[in-house]
């Protein structure tokens, strides 16, 4: 075969005659006149066509997934999605940190707490000292600022009443909340407001899946997961009131949503690290000071 090919390609331009006959010699021999150059040309064209077809199969069909190291389209898509999820998670963590900081400043405020404590102590009926249980450990260094009644400086004018009033910003009246208000959920109070131990709320025991309702009109300023409080939501009402609902199973409103009094805002649960069972941890703040919610509930 090698000698035949060598003879065939010795002079590619010279026509050659190829005789085809059977080994027994019974059939009439057949003669073919060919030019080696033409045969080589068509061979190269055929080889190029096969190469193009092979490349198309590799590029446009799933056969490419069989090539080691090439990777599948699904793998590349998953890698891209994971990259986007990581970026979104970073943005979410930054946003959550900002929301938490704003909520903390809104609740605690930039207030001269020593002046507030001094003026609150001078109010009629306010005890100068609060009895402490030796068996309890003090958890809050500024608990005295939130002793009831916790009233901001601007509300300590002589003869001024504490009940709620509408506030106006740029000519727009903010959503109101009317006190006394109905509790956010019906249940048993298992822990009361304890300023000295840092428990600025009431815990209301309810079954998981119970509807939690807003105590009044307002705007949602926080709605997200927190490490200690689980799924928490906070509503900004007018005149400096903020209500906070923690340890929920699911949140029904998002930041910026407007809510009406008694609107469904969450589903009760047992989320968060600091939770001893299904219950609602409800906080009420006014001008940066914690309030005992029981004083604002109907029938209390």
Tens digits of per-residue pLDDT, 69-120? 665 666 777 788 888 878 877 776 776 677 667 666 666 544 444 443 444 4
Alpha-carbon distance 149 to 205, whole Å?
Answer: 25
- Give the pLDDT score at 137: 44
Q: Read off the tokens for 74.
A: 């699904």
pTM of structure? 0.51
Tens digits of per-residue pLDDT, 125-158? 444 434 444 344 445 566 777 777 776 544 434 3
Contact 203, 184 (CB under 8 A): no
Q: Where do the domains of the chain lie, and which CATH numbers do they carry? A: 2-60 (no CATH), 113-121+139-296 (2.70.70.10)
Q: Please say if the pLDDT value at position 38 is more than 60.
A: yes
Q: Read off the tokens for 300.
A: 């209390």
287-299 as b/e: b if 16+ CB within 10 A: bbbbbbbeebbee
- Give the pLDDT score at 43: 84
Alpha-carbon distance 195 to 143, whole Å?
Answer: 5
Query: Per residue, what are the HEC states of 111-154?
Result: CCHHHHHHHHHCCCCCCCCCCCCCCCCCCCCCHHHHCCCCCCHH
Alpha-carbon distance 150 to 155, whole Å?
Answer: 10
Q: How many CA within 13 A on the CB side of residue 85?
A: 6
Q: What share of the chain is helix, strand, coil (3-state, %, to 5)?
A: 30, 25, 45
Contact 208, 278 (CB under 8 A): yes
């Amino acid at each position: 075969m090698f000698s035949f090919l060598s003879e065939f390609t010795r002079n590619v331009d010279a026509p050659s005659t190829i005789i085809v006959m059977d080994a027994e010699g019974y059939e009439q021999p057949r003669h073919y006149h060919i030019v080696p150059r033409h045969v080589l040309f068509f061979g190269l064209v055929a080889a190029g066509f096969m190469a193009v077809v092979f490349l198309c199969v590799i590029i446009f069909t799933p056969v490419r997934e069989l090539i080691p190291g090439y990777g599948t389209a699904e793998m590349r898509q998953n890698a891209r999605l994971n990259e986007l999820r990581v970026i979104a998670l970073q943005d979410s963590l930054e946003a959550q940190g900002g929301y938490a900081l704003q909520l903390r400043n809104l609740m605690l405020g930039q207030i001269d707490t020593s002046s507030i404590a001094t003026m609150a102590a001078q109010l009629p009926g306010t005890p100068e000292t609060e009895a402490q249980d030796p068996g309890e450990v003090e958890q809050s260094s500024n608990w005295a600022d939130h002793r009831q009644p916790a009233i901001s400086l601007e509300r300590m004018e002589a003869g001024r009443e504490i009940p709620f009033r509408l506030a106006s910003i740029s000519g727009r009246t903010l959503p109101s909340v009317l006190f006394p208000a109905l509790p956010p959920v019906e249940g048993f109070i298992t822990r009361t407001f304890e300023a000295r131990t840092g428990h600025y709320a009431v815990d209301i025991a309810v079954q998981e899946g119970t509807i939690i309702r807003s105590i009044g009109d307002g705007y949602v300023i926080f709605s997200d997961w927190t490490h200690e409080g689980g799924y928490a939501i906070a509503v900004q009402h007018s005149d400096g009131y903020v209500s906070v609902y923690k340890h929920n199973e699911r949140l029904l409103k998002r930041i910026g949503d407007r809510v009406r009094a008694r609107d469904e805002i969450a589903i009760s649960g047992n989320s968060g690290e600091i939770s001893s069972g299904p219950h609602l941890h409800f906080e009420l703040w006014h001008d940066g000071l914690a309030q005992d919610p029981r004083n604002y509930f109907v029938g209390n």
